[in-house]
Amino acid sequence: MIPVRNPRTGEVDHQIEPATSEQVAAEARRVRSAQPAWQALGPEGRAETLKRWAEAIEEQADALVSALSVDTGRLKIARVEVEGLPRTIRRWAGRAPQIIAGLNVRDRPSAFPGVSISTRHVPYPLFGAIAPWNFPVVLSTIDLIPALLAGCAALVKPSEVTPRFVGPLKETIAAVPELERVLAFVLGGPETGQALIANVDYVCFTGSVATGRKVAEAAARCFIPANLELGGKDPMIVLASADPVQAARTALRASVVASGQACQSIERVYVARPVAERFLKTLVDEAGKCRPNFPDIDHGEIGPFIFARQAEVVQAQIDDACAKGARILTGGTVERLGGGLYLRPTVITNVTSDMLVMREETFGPVIPVIEFDTVDEAIAQANAGEFGLSAAVIAGTAHEAEAVAARLDAGAVSINDGALTSMVGDAEKNAFKLSGIGPSRSGDQGLTRFFRTQALIRQNGQPLPLAAFAEGG
Ligand code: NAD
């Protein structure tokens, strides 16, 4: 049994029985055997089926929100996750038949005389997803929906830290029998994750760099593609032409939503010296107004740490920064409230690149701020480090911000906003550097990645005889 802690009370009030490798293999066989019929249903048939799933999710929304809010210790974002799921399903279901229709090419003449080529797109039979705990519903389904629409069967392993939402979600799947035949959720930790990789044909992993490496190694042994979406250390650059008050409010939201437990959180801010004072004053004032959502879950901006160990990581980074000369302007200490662990937004200055808080992913509501004199210097610092997930640039005009964005080593850059990738699902992007590898999970590529290309090469004339290759001929 794996004990599951409640992030609001700190108590272990739930447990899961991890699926064994035999159980994972049995689920894989079950959904794999139904995949040919699912593929034969065609894009429209699959889209219609998924729309019925969206309806079933809406019917179970209250049960899903209440389980997810216990998993994560927050209510508003639990609602946003659950209410967003049917919308995402319908958006993909509306788009998928058109994307798929545009892929296949029939009878194109080849450069080779007498031959024509047709191109088919064949789904990977069994897709697998391994998800983290920070947005349990969104990140268990983000790759799943386009994979199902492509015609794959699917096996999903959510995080063992936040498994409560899976019960009500399974009920919504059971309400759509065609879907239940090709979709299975399995619960468990690392071993269950490894068993999943051993059974699927394509794996999408969202999580840390350390685990991503293990997933990539296991996938390489099986010769299956591994699409990895990993950590980030997203920088925001605030140029001298920016409105510092608006920039500070944007930085705060993009850093502390979900208590900073988001891969695309702004984790470093580089602000031009002429606007730095007003920027910092607003940031500190507004950060100081944020409240933990305790004792009432439906009041306040800051939820508890979902994963207790993460609170230790964040506190250790803050302590390391202080020991090396940083100044905390607000926040700075993890508080225990009713057994939950909370950190108010923490603004830090006097930070240097040797501090952990500037090098490693924080995953908490911490905003280190550095002033800069030249744009080149800001870009060089923003590009330092091993992550390249996303970034943000704020300037007086979009044109000026985009010129800086084009020089950033990151897969997506929010222009005059921050962390837009958390809200915008149709922009194609790759994760750069250690933040991941593989095709885009958003935009049309989010669907087309689940197809293999099959060529039908037709001889329209006479096949060449062996004599055409004979020596001296
Ligand atoms: P994690 O890497 O600890 O775990 C993620 C998942 O991997 C869990 O389901 C876990 O059970 C499973 N797992 C653990 N060991 C495994 C193994 N050896 N083999 C197979 N599976 C294994 O990540 P986490 O702590 O749950 O999530 C936080 C991390 O996720 C952060 O680094 C964050 O940046 C990242 N993240 C990235 C994105 C993105 O889109 N790039 C989105 C959200 C979170």
Residue with CA nearest ligand 1 atom 36: 207
Of all residues in the chain, what percent carry a pLDDT higher than 70? 100
Rg (CA), the chain: 25
Query: What is the per-residue pLDDT across 97-133, written as a single tens digit (0 to 9) for each?
Result: 999 999 988 899 999 999 999 999 999 999 999 999 9
CA 384 to ligand 1 center in whole angstroms: 23
152 is catalytic: no
pLDDT at residue 149 is higher than 80: yes
- Looking at the DSSP bridge assignments, the partners of residue 2 are 16
Question: Helices 190-199 and 209-222 sit at what angle, rounded to 10 degrees?
Answer: 30
306-315 burial, b if ≥16 CB within 10 A, otherwise e? Answer: bbeebbebbb
* pLDDT at residue 472 in the model: 87
Ligand 1 binding pocket includes 133 (Cβ within 6 Å): yes
Residue with CA nearest ligand 1 atom 40: 229
d(CA 311, CA 124): 39
Q: Quote the DSSP letter at residue 181.
A: T
Query: What is the per-residue pLDDT across 227-281, written as a single tens digit (0 to 9) for each?
Result: 999 999 999 999 999 999 999 999 999 999 999 999 999 999 999 999 999 999 9
User: Residue for token digits 């593609």?
Assistant: 225
Amino acid (one-letter) located at 293: N
H helices present in 346-444, as ranges? 356-359, 375-382, 398-405
User: Residue for token digits 């095709």?
Assistant: 439
Ligand 1 binding pocket includes 438 (Cβ within 6 Å): no
Q: What is the β-pairing status of strands 153-157 and 126-130?
A: parallel
Ligand 1 binding pocket includes 131 (Cβ within 6 Å): yes
CA 214 to ligand 1 center in whole angstroms: 11
* Of 81, 178, 229, 361, catalytic: 229
CA 159 to ligand 1 center in whole angstroms: 8
Question: What would the mean pLDDT of 221-226 be, rounded to a whole number?
Answer: 98
Do residues 172 and 53 make contact, with C-beta atoms less than 8 angstroms apart? yes
- Looking at the DSSP bridge assignments, the partners of residue 341 are 336
* pLDDT at residue 18 in the model: 98
Return the half-sphere exposure (C-beta side, CA atoms, 13 A cut-off) of residue 174: 7
Query: What is the per-residue pLDDT across 301-319, written as a single tens digit (0 to 9) for each?
Result: 999 999 999 999 999 999 9
Question: What would the mean pLDDT of 404-427 be, rounded to a whole number?
Answer: 96
Question: What would the mean pLDDT of 405-431 be, rounded to a whole number?
Answer: 96
Question: What would the mean pLDDT of 388-399 be, rounded to a whole number?
Answer: 98
The average confidence (pLDDT) of the chain is 97
Q: In the structure, how many helices (H) and strands (E) does the chain have? A: 17, 22
361 backbone φψ class: left, alpha, beta (φ>0; ψ -120 to 50): beta
CA 337 to ligand 1 center in whole angstroms: 27
Nearest to 80 by CA among 125, 32, 135: 135
145-157 burial, b if ≥16 CB within 10 A, otherwise e? Answer: bbbbbbbbbbbbb
Residue with CA nearest ligand 1 atom 28: 207
pLDDT at residue 463 is higher than 70: yes
Mutation test residue for ligand 1: of 162, 200, 203, 263, the one with most atoms within 8 Å of CB = 263
Do residues 206 and 361 make contact, with C-beta atoms less than 8 angstroms apart? no
* Of 263, 286, 301, 400, catalytic: 263
d(CA 411, CA 385): 14
Question: What would the mean pLDDT of 447-465 be, rounded to a whole number?
Answer: 97
17 is catalytic: no
* pLDDT at residue 105 in the model: 84
pLDDT at residue 473 is higher than 70: no
Please count the other Cβ atoms lying within 10 Å of the Cβ belonging to residue 241.
14
Residue with CA nearest ligand 1 atom 9: 159
Query: What is the per-residue pLDDT across 38-97, written as a single tens digit (0 to 9) for each?
Result: 999 999 999 999 999 999 999 999 999 999 999 999 999 999 999 999 999 999 999 999
Ligand 1 binding pocket includes 134 (Cβ within 6 Å): yes
d(CA 251, CA 243): 12
Ligand 1 atom with the shortest distance to the CA of 211: 2
d(CA 72, CA 4): 12
CA 189 to ligand 1 center in whole angstroms: 10
Question: What would the mean pLDDT of 444-451 be, rounded to a whole number?
Answer: 98
Nearest to 371 by CA among 387, 353, 349: 349
Return all residues near 310 (Cβ < 8 A) that are at least 6 apart.
Answer: 261, 363, 364
Ligand 1 binding pocket includes 84 (Cβ within 6 Å): no
Q: Percent helix, strand, coil in the chain (nearest 5)?
A: 45, 20, 35
Question: What would the mean pLDDT of 195-203 be, rounded to a whole number?
Answer: 98
Ligand 1 atom with the shortest distance to the CA of 212: 2
Ligand 1 binding pocket includes 186 (Cβ within 6 Å): no
Ligand 1 atom with the shortest distance to the CA of 159: 9
CA 132 to ligand 1 center in whole angstroms: 4
* pLDDT at residue 401 in the model: 98
CA 264 to ligand 1 center in whole angstroms: 14
pLDDT at residue 453 is higher than 90: yes
E strand or H helix that includes residue 81 = helix 76-101
Ligand 1 binding pocket includes 313 (Cβ within 6 Å): no
* pLDDT at residue 341 in the model: 98
Ligand 1 binding pocket includes 189 (Cβ within 6 Å): yes
- CA distances to 36, 102, 227 from 445, rounded to whole Å, are 23, 13, 12
Nearest to 210 by CA among 234, 223, 193, 198: 193
